[in-house]
Structure 1
Amino acid sequence: MSIDNYNYSAISKVLNAVQYFGDLNPKLLGAIIGVKEATGIMETLRKKSTFSVTFIARERIMGLRKYFVSLKIPPTMISLVDLYEVLDGFPSFIGRDFNSPENTIMIIPFPKGKTDFIRALEELADAGLVHNLIVRKFVRQYQFYTDFSTFDFEKNTFKENFLVKPRSPLILPDLSDGFRPDWLDLAIMGKKQENNKRTLKEIASLLNVPYRVALKHYQEHIIGRSLVEGYVMRWDNSDITRLTILFKRDENFLRELTRIPTLTHAADLDDGTSVAFIFADQHMIPGIMDYVAYLRLKFKMDAKVMVHLFKPRFKYLLAASIPYEHYTESRTWVYDLDKMLQRARELARKLELLPLPTSYPPTDNIP
């Protein structure tokens, strides 16, 4: 069935609800919101390859601490895949700025109380491959649902670049109450993040567990125990680009940024800065850049916009699942620091380094 056979208000209602409850049980979703066509709408959107949904994990409950890392690397020498492999698959996001390719950021969830990944990055710094390394902790996260009220479902794009009013954060309650997830909980989440279009039945098959077992873990643990902090819904468009905005913490500045309908989540960092993440069609980017410039003047503060193109693949952006492969059946996180250090040394040797500058021109307070 074509998506045009459904009422657009019903489609928007389903898509908004998915960002509260996820997409792995559309029948239950339809019952909750009173849209009996919910299952058909979701199946049609999946077949049309229009939308995909992924988890924003609540890492604290999993025993992880999330870090925001910024650094400068020679873009012609080190790829994003190189960094991912050196850090043994722990980064959930690595982004290189299209306009300043030496500027790179990473989001790294790592076992609580451990920061050994920094030693691997310092190994690269000692080899002259990394400069201006800054590591910050996430202290608070904000989730915002994508507003589809101005979305054109026929053209698969947004009609308007900005909303009339700012949005409030979407707050899902923390029901963990000391709960510790098991390996299957994290594997289900990881498999979904690896391929956002997977259904729960497909994930159960991949993990070689009965569907009813996977459904029980999804409903009672992943949802019931708040392993999910929110959901990010992305529409598939060849022109889509990811943006990162770094700015000094200011709740009014962030509030105005939420008028961008595709700002999905944001976070406060432990050094007084904040970061916001946006998925944008190409035609939206000039307007967003102008809007950020306007907000800089209005609030008399600095802000930096980084552009991460999806293509060529892995050149400017690498997104990955939670590092569930490092979580054991005994509910502990494991990693091999020696392996990380060895990979860093091997990368340095492979590149047969030429002399590189030991410093970069001075920058402002926001890396």
Structure 2
Amino acid sequence: MLIEKEHLKLSEVFYYLQRFGDLNPRVIGAISRIKDADKLIQWLRENFQYRLAPIPRYEALGLKKYYVTIYSNYADISLYNIYELFDGMTSFILRDVINPLVLNLSIYYNSTDFDRVLDYLQDEGIIYHYDLHKVEEEKFYPIDYSNFNFERREFTGLLTSPREPFELPDLAEGFFPDEVDMKIIGKKQAKTVSSLKDISTMLGISFKDALYHTQAHVIGKGLIKGYSVYLYKPDFRLEISFSEKETLEELSRIPSMYLAYKLDDKTYYAHVFDNSSRLLDYLDFISSLKSKDTIEVYIHPFNEKYLFTASIPYEHFENGRWNFNTEIMMFRAEKLVKKIEEKDGGRQGE
């Protein structure tokens, strides 16, 4: 059992990890002045399902972020097929467990040209409606481990007061990232347990170069907002839509709420990861807020049928620019329609 002093030290380590990452643990020790910070991080790696994921500042990467809700006519379309259809541009695809015909997608792109794909799928009867909105504002909330039970590996309840969002300063000021910067962010998102040494090996560059790009660009220029630290494998993801800023403040009392954004229609969405022991408590708390706001909750179990996540589409960044091809998406949409029609025709023939 952790004594209070050790718990406080870990809380301080989490504070710095979610701001500066773990790609170089010695930096955390130097900044925090915790002499054994690197040993504590190693202890977390060895004793928990430790993962650390960067939250990209997509505007600084030359991207825009769009939120799409698809109302499908088919409940069994593979989420991976949707990911391939949009040529790897989705950061998440979520199917609601209560209504599996509803898919929520986040798409990184630099225009809304991809709506051609959605129009085509609607014309072909694969979907009957979709809503497309630009993300106007995104807020990152470092996960609060102050009431985390390390023995049971779960949070013990809601926080007593709302949290404040955090983000590293945006110091780009005309700076534009290169391929190494993009790949460091993308590789760390794709494989969250990776160390900087691992990533430098993946990229075929020296550790020194990887360290420079991480400290001088990824963190130093504010290409990311921060990092989320996870100590357990979640069972579900909640996506909560609402209209009032005050609701966001209350939802931030959920210690594992890590991201919220506001769309161009002024709708808010908040995201929560956690394990099943907390689900009913969170749903009960969210229900208590419905007297003051219109709130919808989408529940996404952590399996491939209901949830698919991906990194920034760094494979599409070449020679200092993003290379997106809507025609490839249209070609894949045609293939998907044909596949669904053949499968559906086979069912009708049974």
Match for 1:122 among 119, 127, 137?
Answer: 119
Counterparts of residues 8-87 of structure 1 (less than 5 Å) = 8-87=7-86
Structure 2 SS opposite 1:296: coil
Gaps of 5+ in 2: 346-350
Matched residue count: 344
SS of aligned partner of 1:15: helix
Question: Does residue 1:287 correspond to 2:281, yes or no?
Answer: yes
Which residue of structure 2 aligns with residue 255 of structure 1?
249
Matched, 1:154 2:151: yes
Tell me if 1:304 matches 2:296: yes
Q: What TM-score do the two structures reach when normalised by structure 2? A: 0.94
Please state if 1:133 is matched with 2:130: yes
C-alpha separation in 1, matches of 2:167 and 2:314: 25
* Alignment partner of 2:322 out of 316, 330, 333: 333
* Aligned-pair CA distance for 1:50: 2.5
Equivalent-residue separation in structure 1 for 2:132 and 2:298 (angstroms) = 18
8 Å CA contact 1:3, 1:44 repeated in 2: no
List per-residue Cα deviations over 1:276-310 (Å, max 9, x = no partner). Answer: 0001221211111111111011x1x2111111111
Q: Deviations over 1:63-111 (max 9, x none)?
A: 1000011011245441111110000000011111111111110011102
Contact 1:267 1:275 in 2 (8 A): yes
Paired residues of 2:75 and 2:100 also in contact (CA < 8 A): no
The residue aligned with 2:207 is 211
Please tell me the residue identity of whatever aligns with 1:240: D
Residue 364 (structure 1) aligns with: none
* SS state at 1:307 partner: strand
Partner SS state of residue 232, structure 1: strand
Deviates more, 1:214-223 or 1:126-135: 126-135
Q: Which amino acid aligns with 2:235?
A: I
Answer whether contact 2:73 2:128 (CA < 8 A) is retained: no
Question: Any idea what the Cα deviations from partners look like across 1:220-262, whole Å, max 9, x if unmatched?
Answer: 010111000122222223x5311100112x1111111111111
Letter in 1 for 2:313: P
Q: What is the CA–CA distance in structure 1 between the aligned matches of 2:137 and 2:339, rounded to whole Å?
A: 39
Aligned-partner residue type, residue 337 of structure 1: T
Give the secondary structure class of the aligned counterpart of 1:352. Answer: helix
Q: Per the alignment, in what secondary structure is the counterpart of residue 93 of structure 1?
A: strand
Match of 1:346 among 331, 335, 340: 335
For residues 65 and 35 of structure 2, what CA distance do their matches in structure 1 show? 39
* Cα deviations by residue, 1:286-340 (Å, 9 ceiling, x for unpaired): 111111111011x1x21111111112xx211001000000000x21111222211
Of all paired residues, the percent bearing the same amino acid is: 36
Helix, strand or coil: the match of 1:198?
coil
Which one-letter code corresponds to 1:326 in the other structure? H
Separation of aligned partners in 1, 2:93 and 2:10: 32
Q: Which amino acid aligns with 1:17?
A: Y
* Mapped contact 2:87–2:329 kept (Cα < 8 A): yes
CA distance, structure 1, for counterparts of residue 43 and residue 114 of structure 2: 42
* SS of corresponding position for 2:134: strand
Q: Which amino acid aligns with 1:194?
A: A
Structure 2 CA distance for partners of 1:100 and 1:76, relative to 1, 3 Å: closer
**CA distance in 1: counterparts of 2:336 and 2:235, whole angstroms:** 32
The answer as to whether partners of 1:22 and 1:53 remain within 8 angstroms in 2 is: yes
Q: Which residue matches 1:363?
A: none
Distance in 2 between the 1:18 and 1:143 partners? 14
Aligned AA (1:214): A
Amino acid at match of 1:197: V
Aligned equivalents of 2:129 and 2:48: distance in 1?
40
| Secondary structure of 2:297 counterpart | strand
Shift of the 140–76 alpha-carbon distance from structure 1 to 2, 3 Å rule, reads closer
Q: Does the aligned pair in 1 maintain the 2:26–2:37 contact within 8 Å?
A: yes
- Taking the aligned partners of 1:41 and 1:186, their CA distance within structure 2 comes to 29
Please state if 1:243 is matched with 2:233: no
